[in-house]
Chains A and B, each alone.
Chain A
Amino acid sequence: MHGPRSLGAATNSAYLAVFVACLILATSPFAAMDTSGLEAVFLASRDALLRFLRAHGAGEAAEDLLHELWIRVRAARPGPIANPLSYLYRAANNLIVDRVRSERQAASRDKAWTDASSEPAGEAQGERMLIAREQVARAAAALAELGPRVETVFRRHRLDGVPQRALAEELGVSLSTIESDLRRAAQALIALRRSFDED
């Protein structure tokens, strides 16, 4: 019967360690308690987060991305978090998507730079801004075409950050209706974005 006893002892000393840590944090005016709590979850979930990054296809870069993830989370200095593990997964997911976006932007900048190197920089920039404005107008129009509810749901969710469940209650529709509205809006915007590349 050594097992349960030593487990109990270990649990007690773990509680003590947490208690002491909280005491230190609570008495230190500059300590970021939220970040420290998050760091503990981060350290405990390292392997799971690495697996997630690898499922995204990060391969050998997974360790570096994990490091970058922690730097990002620490810099964001989030307030109290209800579900720290989910927060870390989300941050990892955003990191990957941001990576994809910045690689694309770098590629299109290089292309624009090669295309535009013979013309004055200012004019090329002005031209690109005009194109961007036209694309924004077309995005807004594509969204409006889906009808006022789909547009409202998409803007409230993606621009104002309202959770899907709250939107369902606010509009008096089911969660699956909200999801299907969001899928339609995303589909239309993605198709439009892809058509810009073909122009």
Chain B
Amino acid sequence: MTNSSSISLDEQAIAWLVRTSDPQFDDWEAFEEWLGASPAHADAYHAAAADEAEMVAALAAEPQPLVEPVRRPPRTRRWVGGALAASLLAAIGIATLRPAADQIYETAAGTRRTLALADGSSIALNGGTRIAIEGDDPRAVTVERGEALFVVRNGASDPFTVSVGDATVVDIGTTFDIVRDTRETRVAVAEGAVMWNRNGEAVTLRAGRTLRAVDGSAVMTVSDISPRAIGGWSRGQLVFDEAPLSQVAQELSRTLGVPVSVVPGAEARQVRGVVAIEGRADAVMGRIGPLLGLDVEREGRGWRLAASP
């Protein structure tokens, strides 16, 4: 920065923030010189960068309404209305300047939401989920993380495709569920069939089958699953059919938005049962013990599952 004494420290910090946020910025030496000139410079930059990043994260989580959500908790309608109006304004401003951008949909941990697509298909999002629907093709979806249940209206000439990790899932008239967890993907088919494609290799997955794969690894496992157990969360229940405790904990944690762990050594223990997930997390966790034959204990802000003796 030249002439740095005449503009305030906050303004200098914001100017550097703008420059460093450009993916093509490369004058790190000049930035280092400014940062190192006084500890107050670094503090002002950190405060500006953290504040701005939080606002960007918030704006990124706010979907732009091309498809209308099917159900929405009535308590939140007031705020959503304001956000819709604001992003509609944004959409009008942007529409004249650029081609259709991807629509991002994101749910907070412990919340669920269903999207109805124009072609009659629907996508239910479990908690902590982020997906992108291509602006130019609503039948091309990317699951970035979390869990989504797809109910796809058939269209032979226009297949429905879902990108997840390093693979693509092509639908053949179906209900299927995708879980995306860091680099791991699980696909489970409740009705019909899907085609799993990765690096030119294709696997057909029929109803009642589930596939697990990790990005970059050639190994994938295919096994049986009760179709009833697939996407139960979107109907207000979790169905466990010989499910290992590690998976039970993951599903509870994603669906309820609270940390759930398993006592070491009990991860592989299998349980069966149906758990209603309506109500508060502590009420749901209170019901689970007797239903699944588990000991459920508080652990910090979350819970821990153990096999009953």
What is the chain A residue whose CB lies nearest that of B92? A148
Answer whether residue B119 sits at the interface, using C-beta atoms and an 8 A cutoff. no
Contact with B along A100-139 (1 / 0, CB 8 A): 1100100000000100000011110110011011111101
Answer whether residue B74 sits at the interface, using C-beta atoms and an 8 A cutoff. no
Answer whether residue A186 sits at the interface, using C-beta atoms and an 8 A cutoff. yes
Chain A nearest CB: distance from B75 CB in Å? 7
Contact with A along B12-53 (1 / 0, CB 8 A): 001101111111111010001101100100110011111111
Answer whether residue A41 sits at the interface, using C-beta atoms and an 8 A cutoff. no
| CA A77 to CA B215, docked complex, whole Å | 11
Contact with A along B256-279 (1 / 0, CB 8 A): 011000000000000000000000
| CA A86 to CA B29, docked complex, whole Å | 10
| CA A56 to CA B62, docked complex, whole Å | 32
Contact with B along A149-180 (1 / 0, CB 8 A): 00110011111110111000011000000010
* B23 with A139: CB separation less than 8 A: no
- Known contacts A121-B301, A159-B56, A179-B19; A130/B86 CB under 8 A: no
* A190 with B48: CB separation less than 8 A: yes
Contact with A along B233-254 (1 / 0, CB 8 A): 0000000000000000000000
- Known contacts A133-B76, A190-B48; A51/B26 CB under 8 A: no
- Known contacts A55-B35, A56-B35, A186-B18; A139/B257 CB under 8 A: no
Name the prevailing secondary structure of the A interface residues.
helix
* A193 with B82: CB separation less than 8 A: no
- Known contacts A152-B94, A183-B14; A193/B54 CB under 8 A: yes
Chain A residues near B15: list those with CB within 8 A: 179, 183
Answer whether residue A89 sits at the interface, using C-beta atoms and an 8 A cutoff. yes
Q: Please tell me which one of the listed residues B93, B98, B101 contacts residue A144 in the complex, with CB atoms under 8 A apart.
A: B93
- Known contacts A97-B53, A156-B98, A189-B55; A83/B46 CB under 8 A: no
Give A86-103 interface residues, CB cut-off 8 Å to B.
Answer: 86, 89-90, 93, 96-97, 100-101
* A137 with B93: CB separation less than 8 A: no
- Known contacts A130-B76, A135-B58, A137-B86; A100/B98 CB under 8 A: no
Chain B residues near A137: list those with CB within 8 A: 62, 79, 82-83, 86
Q: Please tell me which one of the listed residues A57, A77, A97 contacts residue B39 in the complex, with CB atoms under 8 A apart.
A: A57
* A97 with B93: CB separation less than 8 A: no
Candidate in B17, B39, B79, B111 with the most chain A CB atoms within 10 angstroms: B79
Q: Please tell me which one of the listed residues B18, B28, B94, B258 contacts residue A179 in the complex, with CB atoms under 8 A apart.
A: B18
Chain A residues near B23: list those with CB within 8 A: 90, 161, 163
Answer whether residue B136 sits at the interface, using C-beta atoms and an 8 A cutoff. no
* A148 with B55: CB separation less than 8 A: no
* A189 with B90: CB separation less than 8 A: no
Q: A55-B36, A122-B282, A157-B21 are in contact. List 9 more A-B contacts (CB 8 A).
A: A93-B20, A104-B50, A132-B108, A137-B62, A140-B87, A152-B97, A158-B56, A170-B98, A189-B55
Residues of A within 8 A of B (CB): 51-52, 54-57, 77, 83, 86, 89-90, 93, 96-97, 100-101, 104, 113, 120-123, 125-126, 129-130, 132-137, 139-141, 143-144, 148, 151-152, 155-161, 163-165, 170-171, 179, 182-183, 186-187, 189-190, 192-194
Q: Would you mind naming 27 contact pairs between A and B with Cβ atoms under 8 Å apart?
A: A57-B39, A57-B46, A86-B28, A90-B25, A121-B280, A122-B283, A130-B76, A132-B58, A133-B79, A136-B62, A137-B82, A137-B83, A137-B86, A140-B86, A140-B87, A143-B90, A151-B90, A151-B93, A152-B93, A152-B98, A158-B59, A179-B19, A182-B18, A183-B14, A186-B17, A186-B18, A190-B52
